[in-house]
Amino acid sequence: MGALLWLLIPVLAAIAATLYAGWVARTNRKSIGDVEELAGYTRFREAMERGHSKTDAAA
């Protein structure tokens, strides 16, 4: 019976980890960070293109 109790501990830990991972994935679906990050990257690209176009015209 003692061996079954020791085997029960990792099984319960695996179940708890699965439930936690599901909960974290569910709450992160509403993430807006990607949209903001992509908008920032677009602004960065546009600024870099403007910077290059000015230096290319001078050369």
Contacts 24+ apart (CB under 8 A), 46-55: none
pTM over 0.75: no
pLDDT of residue 37: 85
pLDDT in tens, 1-59: 889 989 999 999 999 999 999 988 886 666 566 788 888 999 999 999 987 655 555 55
pLDDT of residue 35: 80
pLDDT of residue 32: 62
Sign of CA dihedral 34, 35, 38, 40: negative
Cα–Cα distance between 30 and 34 in angstroms, integer? 10
